[in-house]
Amino acid sequence: MWHGEPVGLLLVGPTDRRRFAAAHDERVIATLTPYIADAAHAVRLTAALQRSRERILTAREEERRRLRRDLHDGLGQSLTGMAMSINTARLAMRNAPERAERLLADLRAGMDAVSGDIRQLVYGLRPPALDELGLAGAVEELAGMPVEVCGDLGGLPAAVEVAAYRIVQEALTNARKHSGATRIAIALQRETCLRVTITDDGAGIPPDARAGVGLTSMRERAAELGGTCVVREAEGGGTLVEAELPL
């Protein structure tokens, strides 16, 4: 056991003449067990860290592939079609001005659609509200409620701002859609790290709950920066999400 958590099963084989009999002494085993538990826990942490890094790298490459596909199949094709419409309109300007007018009107509508696609891509990379309002203002706009702020949140690394914003976004989604919460509190505290806390009064975490995509995503966003994200039951009921992001 490691701090009350089972981390492995210790098997002690039978002794014989060729083995060290004292190793089967209960006092020796009791003395060695805490050190064995530390080693087992370290091995488990190392394996979990490796799996987390692999998931992060896989998610990053999948996101790059999605962006490449969206840019090529979406924006690329739209811009090519718009260029052809411009050429057709230029040819029709003298002989068929009405047709040129229709082509230009369609071109204008196509430009609005492309602008919307670009905004969606930009928002997927970094929410514009972070640059316009700062982290605290962006989180308040996202949550629709005041946010408790402790410390100066100016000058935060861009990756930390995005991770904090996405963690709050996912925690709010879970609280509102799945837990039935009526009260949610958000706190941002800057010390040696950025601590993000989201507390709700919802149904809490079921005992047999398994981590879904949302919870895994929050943990991986924190782990990618070398931080942690813990989701547990709050005092008095509900759920507490607490993330610590190094600066």
pLDDT digits (tens, 9 = 90+) for 174-213: 888 777 778 889 999 998 999 999 998 877 766 666 666 6
- Give SS3 for 148: strand
Would you state the structure tokens that stand for residue 102, as one six-digit string?
């229709």
Q: Are strands 228-233 and 184-190 parallel, antiparallel or unpaired?
A: unpaired
| Beta carbons within 10 angstroms of residue 86's beta carbon | 13
- Distance (Å, rounded) from C-alpha 219 to C-alpha 242? 10
Beta carbons of 17 and 43 less than 8 angstroms apart: no
* pLDDT at position 20 over 70: no
DSSP character at residue 246 = E
Beta carbons of 70 and 241 less than 8 angstroms apart: no
**Domain positions in the chain:** 1-125, 128-246
Beta carbons of 107 and 86 less than 8 angstroms apart: yes
pLDDT band per the 50, 70, 90 thresholds, residue 127: confident
pLDDT per residue over 90-112, tens digit each? 777 777 888 888 888 888 777 87
Residue 100 host element (H or E): helix 97-125
* pLDDT at position 224 over 80: yes
Beta carbons of 201 and 164 less than 8 angstroms apart: no
Q: Residue 32's Cα: distance from chain center in Å?
A: 40
Beta carbons of 110 and 122 less than 8 angstroms apart: no
Top-level class of domain 128-246? alpha beta
Average pLDDT over residues 117-144: 83
- Distance (Å, rounded) from C-alpha 232 to C-alpha 219? 13
pLDDT on residue 103: 80
